[in-house]
Amino acid sequence: MPPRHAGIQTISRRVRRNRFVAATLVLAVALVAGTALLGGARSSNAPTQGSPRFIPQDARLRSDWDGDGKPVTFVFAGDVNFQGPSVIASRLAEDPRTALGPGAARLLAHSNLSMVNFESALTFGGCPIPQPKTYVFFAPPAAITAFEGARTTLVTEANNHGEDCGQPGLLQALTIRARTRYHIIGIGKNVAGALASYQAVIRGEHVGIIAATQVIDTDLVSTWTATGTQPGLASAYEVQELVRAVSAARRIDDTVIVFLHWGIQLDACPDAIQEPLATELVRAGADIVIGSHAHVLLGAGYLGRALVDYGLGNFAFYNDPFPTDLSGSLAVAATGRHIDAYTWRPAIIENDLPVPATGAAAAQVQARFAAARACTNLSGRPTTPLASNETERAALASSSQGQLP
């Protein structure tokens, strides 16, 4: 039998070992819980992927932040509508997977993420409460299948048709989103949900996308705008709420993108509201600002070092006379906050669908796209950054008194 003191030492070692194991388990549980809380705050729309890495405090507030140093390609396109009677509505009914045609998939291809504006309410069928407006658009869940068939990563419904079927229609859209697990942003059960950013980790780069609309019929603003207790759309009229969302995303994302519905229909120049808002969002930390609504191409270029496109035009739409038939997609390569390059992929809408353009038609669309910059405050090359650690801290402080959502 071993000496008594040896047994005591053995017991002591076991106690110390058990305490160490217990402490390790408690730490592991705490880390998992903390990660889950952070993920929940970041997005209810998309789980992140990839292993965490150490990020110095406020590093992402530097205008030269390049994340992991790996470029990510984004492709954005404009308005999509399946309203009938039309060719595109018939295609949706016949075969949702191919409803947007082969051209849409080609224009959105060769990307790590693609996004369009879904210019419609989304319901299970019919329109529960048609709103008092000239045009009421709605589409069935098959529209989600069409987006998936065209390799579209996500869509925004923050636009002046997202609640065309009233609050019951919007609640149906939220149910369809939950059931299909397809990424639809810009709508929610409350303002926090509507402004929740889509979150993804692509090639090690953390990407956040926020959507909002600055176009809602005047008599519908109060009933359509998401609030703390009311379901609805993310409203860009609520500038401080939008800035707050951008500020929160800036702290956790390498690349921050804002997709807005704004401008004046058929006007190829930004209005007096768009340019100041773009400036405020860039100063708050947005790296890419994308727009839709006018149904024609607006200008694109650099605002400091950020990229802004005021209007992508139509992408797949039932009404396509010139110049609303000039279409395409915007491909943007970004490494963290650095915009490596951007290019317009020209298309012409034929029978409601985008057809990649070649030859003289491509030259016409490209010329229109390039010329549209003349009436904007944008430049063809990056200039002195508008955003800085100071402007982004100030935006966060003024919009939320320094508190993240």
Query: Using one digit for the tens of pLDDT, what is the confidence trace for 100-142?
Result: 999 999 999 999 999 999 999 999 999 999 999 999 999 999 9
Query: Using one digit for the tens of pLDDT, what is the confidence trace for 216-240?
Result: 999 999 999 999 999 999 999 999 9
Q: Residue 84 contacts by C-beta under 8 Å, 6 or more apart in sequence? A: 90, 318
Domain positions in the chain: 1-42, 54-400
What are the residue ranges of helices labelled H in 232-358? 239-252, 274-284
d(C-alpha 206, C-alpha 50), whole Å:
9
Work out the pLDDT band at 399, boundaries 50, 70, 90. Answer: low
Higher per-residue confidence, 326 vs 46: 326
d(C-alpha 181, C-alpha 147), whole Å:
13
Higher per-residue confidence, 392 vs 291: 291
Element (H, E) at 71: none
Q: Which of 247, 246, 253, 258 is nearest to 204 (CA)?
A: 253
Instruction: Please give the pLDDT value at position 22.
Output: 42
The gap between the terminal CA atoms of the chain, to the nearest Å, is 64
Mean pLDDT, rounded, of the chain: 88
Q: Is the pLDDT of residue 27 over 50?
A: no
Q: Is the pLDDT of residue 25 over 50?
A: no
3-state secondary structure (DSSP) of residue 209 = strand
Quote the tokens at residue 379. 């430049």
d(C-alpha 149, C-alpha 166), whole Å:
28
Region 63-73: mean pLDDT is 95
Quote the tokens at residue 87. 């060719």
Residue type for position 2: P
Q: Which of 291, 210, 207 is nearest to 243 (CA)?
A: 210
Quote the tokens at residue 271. 């209005």
Quote the tokens at residue 359. 């030859």
Query: Using one digit for the tens of pLDDT, what is the confidence trace for 363-384?
Result: 999 999 999 999 999 999 999 9
Higher per-residue confidence, 354 vs 3: 354
- CATH topology for 54-400? Purple Acid Phosphatase; chain A, domain 2 (3.60.21)
Query: Dihedrals φ, ψ of 401, to 5°?
Result: 50, 35
d(C-alpha 25, C-alpha 154), whole Å:
38
Residue type for position 161: H
Region 164-176: mean pLDDT is 98
Buried/exposed 374-398: b ≥16 CB within 10 Å, e otherwise: eebbbeeeeeebbbbeebbbebbee
Query: Using one digit for the tens of pLDDT, what is the confidence trace for 323-371?
Result: 999 999 999 999 999 999 999 999 999 999 999 999 999 999 999 999 9
